[in-house]
Amino acid sequence: MNHRMPRPLRIASLAIAALIGALAIVGAATHVVSNAWMMLTDRSNVIPAESSILSFEPYVINPGSSNYWLYGKDRTNYYHFVHTEQALYVYLPIENSCPGFDRENIRTWCNVRIGTRH
C-alpha cells in the first residue's frame, strides 16, 4: 500500500512551506512586522514617506497609553514625531553636522526638514 501524497499536493505543500519560510526571513530581517503591528494598533502611527515599512526603526516609543513612536531612523535619516498642524514629523540626515547632536533630543537637531503629510 502506497501512502505517498499525490505530486500536485506535494508541490503545493512545498510552495506553502517556502512562502512561510520567506515571510519569516523577511519578518526577522526587517522591521515590517513591528511596524505593521504599530500601525494596526494605533492609528496615529505613520511610517515617514521618506522611509519604508521595511527599514523604518522606531527607537523611542511614547511611554503613555498610546504606543506611537517619538524618535525613529532608517538608513539615511533620523525622524521625530511632532504631530503639529504644520507637520506630523520632522527629519534630518544621519550624516549631519549639528553641534552637540543627540538623536533623542530634538533641541539638538539643526536644519530639520518637514515631513510629508499623509
Chunked mean pLDDT (size 10), the chain, 118 residues: 73 77 65 77 84 91 84 97 89 95 96 84
pLDDT at 103: 96
- pTM tops 0.75, yes or no: no
Q: What is the grid cell recorded at 79?
A: 525622524
Report how far residue 109's alpha carbon sits from residue 118's, in angstroms, rounded to the nearest whole number: 23
Domain ranges of the chain: 32-114
The burial of 10, by beta-carbon neighbours within 10 Å (0-12 exposed, 13-18 middle, 19 or more buried), is given as exposed
Q: Angle 116-80-46 (CA atoms, 0-180°, nearest 5)?
A: 55
Please provide the distance, in angstroms rounded to a whole number, between the alpha carbons at the two ends of the chain: 62
* pLDDT at residue 112 in the model: 95
> What is the reported pLDDT for 56?
93
- For residues 73 and 79, the answer to whether their CB atoms sit within 8 Å is yes
pLDDT, residue 24, reads 67
